[in-house]
Chains A and B, each alone.
Chain A
Amino acid sequence: MTKLISRLLVLGALAALPFGAFGQDNTIKVGVIAAFSGPFAAYGEQIEAGMKAYMKQHGDTVAGKKVELITRDTKGPAPEVAKRLAQELITRDHVQFLSGFGLTPNALAVAPLVSEAKVPMVISNAATSIITTKSPYITRVSMTIPQIAEPLAQWALKNGIRQVYTAVADYGPGIDAETQFTKTFKAGGGEIVGSVRTPLQNPDFSAAIQRIKDAKPQAVFVFLPAGEQGIAFMKGFNERGLAAAGIKLIATGDITDDHVLQAMGDPTLGMITAFHYSSSHKSPENEAFLKAYEAANGSKVGDPNFMAAAGYDSMHVIYEVAKKLNGKIDGDAAMAAIKGMKWMSPRGPVEIDPQTRDIDQTVYIRKVEKVNGRLANVEFDKIENVKDPGK
Chain B
Amino acid sequence: MIGNVVGVLFDGIAYGALLFIIAVGLSVTLGLMNFVNLAHGAFAMVGGYVCVVLMSNAGVPFLATLPVAFVVAAIVGLVLERTLYRWLYEASPLDQVLFSIGLVYMSIAGATYVFGSTQQPVSLPSYLRGQVHVLGLDLGVYRLFLIVVVALLTLALQVLLVRTRFGSQVRASVDNATAAAGLGINVSRVFALTFALGSGLAGLGGGLGIDVLGLDPTFPLKYMVYFLLVVAVGGSGTIKGPLVAALILGVFDVAGKYYVPQIGGFIIYALMVALLIAFPAGLYGRRT
Contacts and interface: CB of A to CB of B under 8 A. Distances in A.
A170 B109 CA distance: 28
Interface in A229-258: 229, 231-232, 235, 238-241
A260 B119 contact: yes
B254 interface: yes
User: Which of A42, A196, A207, A302 has the most CB atoms of chain B within a 10 A radius of its CB?
Assistant: A207
B252 to A, nearest CB: 11
Interface stretch (B37-45, B63-71, B164-172, B218-226): B218-226
B138 A241 contact: yes
A208 interface: yes
B253 A204 contact: yes
B35 interface: no
A206 B264 contact: no
Interface string B45-83: 000000000000000000000000000000000000000
Interface string A188-203: 0000000011110111
B102 interface: no
A228 interface: yes
A214 B259 CA distance: 12
A241 B167 CA distance: 45
B63 to A, nearest CB: 18
A204 B121 contact: no
B189 interface: no
B112 to A, nearest CB: 7
Contacts of B212: 203-204, 232, 235
Given A41-B112, A210-B258, A235 B211 contact: yes
Interface in A155-211: 170, 196-199, 201-204, 206-208, 210-211
B261 A197 contact: yes
Nearest to A41: B117
Given A228-B214, A263-B119, A264-B119, A204 B18 contact: yes
A239 B131 contact: yes
A260 B118 contact: yes
A196 B213 CA distance: 20
Nearest to B120: A263
A59 interface: no
Contacts of A238: 129-130
Nearest to B116: A302
Interface string A215-239: 0000000000001110110010011
A240 B141 CA distance: 10
User: Which of A37, A38, A204, A235 has the most CB atoms of chain B within a 10 A radius of its CB?
Assistant: A204
A202 B120 CA distance: 18
Given A228-B213, A264-B119, A206 B254 contact: yes
A52 interface: no
B142 interface: yes
Contact of A227 (B15, B119, B123, B253): B119
Contacts of B222: 39, 201
Interface string A359-380: 0000000000000000000000
A170 B257 contact: no
A42 B118 contact: yes
Given A231-B119, A260-B118, A302-B118, A203 B257 contact: no
A200 B132 CA distance: 30
Interface string B108-143: 010010001111111100000111000000101010
Nearest to B10: A206
B214 A37 contact: no
A158 B140 CA distance: 35
A208 B264 CA distance: 10
Contact of A207 (B123, B213, B264): B264
Given A241-B138, A260-B118, A207 B218 contact: no
A210 B112 CA distance: 35
B214 A227 contact: yes
Contacts of A263: 118-121
B8 interface: yes
A385 interface: no
A264 to B, nearest CB: 7
Contacts of B18: 203-204
Contacts of A313: none
Contacts of B131: 239-241
B112 A228 contact: no
Interface string A251-282: 00000000110111110000000000000000
A259 B118 contact: yes
A266 B213 contact: no
Nearest to A208: B257
A239 B130 CA distance: 5
Contacts of A241: 131, 138
A45 interface: yes
A211 B123 CA distance: 25
A203 B211 contact: no
Given A198-B265, A210-B7, A239-B131, A204 B140 contact: no
A48 to B, nearest CB: 13
Contact of B226 (A203, A211, A260): A203
Contacts of B129: 238-239
A206 B265 contact: no
A197 B261 CA distance: 8
Contacts of B213: 203, 228, 232
A228 B209 CA distance: 12
A108 B223 CA distance: 30
User: Which of A38, A214, A259 has the most CB atoms of chain B within a 10 A radius of its CB?
Assistant: A38
Given A170-B265, A229-B214, A231-B122, 14 more contacts: A38-B218, A197-B261, A201-B225, A204-B253, A204-B254, A206-B15, A207-B264, A208-B257, A210-B11, A228-B214, A228-B216, A239-B142, A240-B131, A241-B138
Interface of A: 37-39, 41-42, 45, 170, 196-199, 201-204, 206-208, 210-211, 214, 227-229, 231-232, 235, 238-241, 259-260, 262-266, 300, 302
8 contacts: A39-B117, A39-B216, A206-B11, A210-B11, A231-B119, A232-B214, A263-B119, A302-B116
Instruction: Return the 9 tightest CB-CB contacts between A and B, nearest first.
Output: A228-B214, A199-B265, A207-B257, A207-B258, A206-B11, A263-B121, A41-B117, A263-B119, A39-B218
